[in-house]
Amino acid sequence: MTKMILPRTADVGNTSLLADPTDALRDLFGQVLHSAMEAELEQRAGAAHYERSDDRVDYRNGTRGRRFDTRMGSIDLAIPRLREGAYLPSFLERATRSERAVAALVQEAIVSGVSTRKIQKLVAELGISSLSKSQASAMCQELDEQARAFRERPLTGRYPYLFLDAIYEKIRIYRTVQSQACVIAYGVREDGERELIGLDVVNTESEESWTTFLRRLVERGLSGVLLVITDAHGGLVKAVDAVLLGATWQRCKVHFTRNVTAHAPEAYKKKLAGAMQGLFHQPDQDAALAFFETLRVQYGASCAKAIQILEDGLGDVLAFMAFPREHWSRISSTNPIERINKEIRRRTRVIGVFPNVDSALRLIGMILLEQTEDWAADKRYMSTESMLQLYEVTAA
């Protein structure tokens, strides 16, 4: 066996790898970030450091310090300045927006009288050392403008698929803490790309609040909606019928299955839930209706109430089968938007109670903006061919 001999020290940025691997990795990562900034600055200035070039468009003008918090710890960056233009590294420009939103939120929480113990816990979890009131105010204003621009941007083109859902957050309204509904709209464009297109905070999920939310989407340009995927909230369904004329409603199959099995005897809940999965895997609506008849025969006597609910909602829960089969797994439930909700909850759990509505819109808006940007860089959500087929099917 060959014996491997490790070097006694491996200096990276004057730090010994053997002395403290965490510090060494952090310093190494800092060098990588420095190299990335140099490459970006060279491209921005049109020439390398000290290089003479006819393509040069700007010159360096010293550096400024900036702390960058990472999972390996805080890194002190020396960010280069330019004489004419402003420069912010791309890895800071996008990756820290929601973190800055949370940082600004900490200051707002302090001003709003949230308990010192809770603030200390929040600061510790977020790795924030200190923020002056003026710094927080400037960040709030900048992030408010970005979040508002994202929420109010014009919607162009058609959005054949629209997902709607809400999550509840604790928000301080005047002197009381109330549970407020954060309503969210997620759309799939006619080119197969997906976007988060709407966000608002309302007192409750009433028909009136959902109607107002949908009308604002239409005013911004929402059009061409063919299928709306939601749960069975009565006010939401009525609002969809009133505002999105001609669109078909798809009742989320996951919520529907839970609703049906909740009315079955305990001994039959799992069996019926498993059997219902076969309903959604039929090749078309006719086959699904025939499959339902077998479920009626099998469970009609033992689960009469559940089978009646299943029959009453069958048309709404099978609506997805009128659309291209390639899309079925993505349009038959609200799971796509539920994944977004899960990420929002993960990020807002540390907050506990938002000090005001604006802070909730700011943080959640930044999360949705980042998610939409990530999607833009991903593979197309639905293929171009399947989207063309969608319009052929619906035109027939």
The Cα 375–Cα 372 span in angstroms is 5
**Model pLDDT, residue 24:** 63
The Cα 382–Cα 326 span in angstroms is 8
**Model pLDDT, residue 107:** 54
The Cα 327–Cα 330 span in angstroms is 5
Q: Work out the percent of the chain whose per-residue pLDDT is above 90.
A: 47
Which residues on adjacent β-strands are paired with residue 196?
A: 186
Q: What is the mean pLDDT of residues 74-103?
A: 70
Residue 94 has pLDDT above 70, yes or no: no
Q: Per-residue pLDDT tens for 299-345? A: 999 999 999 999 999 999 999 999 999 999 999 999 989 888 988 88
Assign 5 to helix, strand or coil.
coil
The Cα 31–Cα 364 span in angstroms is 33
What stretches of the chain show up as alpha helix (H) in DSSP? 21-45, 90-93, 97-111, 116-126, 133-152, 207-219, 234-243, 253-261, 269-280, 285-299, 304-317, 328-331, 335-348, 357-377, 384-395
The Cα 385–Cα 166 span in angstroms is 32
**Model pLDDT, residue 292:** 96
Domain boundaries, the chain: 21-93, 94-249+353-381
Residue 116 backbone dihedrals phi, psi, to 5 degrees = -60, -40
Residue 126 has pLDDT above 60, yes or no: no
Which residues on adjacent β-strands are paired with residue 64?
A: 79
The Cα 65–Cα 76 span in angstroms is 7
Q: What is the mean pLDDT of residues 291-306?
A: 95
Q: Are strands 161-173 and 248-251 parallel, antiparallel or unpaired?
A: unpaired
**Model pLDDT, residue 18:** 39
Which residues on adjacent β-strands are paired with residue 16?
A: 11
What DSSP assignment string belongs to 153-209? PPP-S--SEEEEEEEEEEEEETTEEEEEEEEEEEEE-TTS-EEEEEEEEESS--HHH
**Model pLDDT, residue 316:** 96
The conformation of residue 320, written as its DSSP 8-state character, comes to: G
Say if residues 152 and 169 touch (Cβ distance below 8 Å): no
Give residue 125's identity as a one-letter amino acid code: E
Residue 8 has pLDDT above 70, yes or no: no
**Model pLDDT, residue 11:** 39
On average, the pLDDT of the chain sits at 81
305 vs 20, more confident: 305
* Residue of 211, 182, 131, 162 lying closest to 331 (CA atoms): 162
Assign 73 to helix, strand or coil.
strand
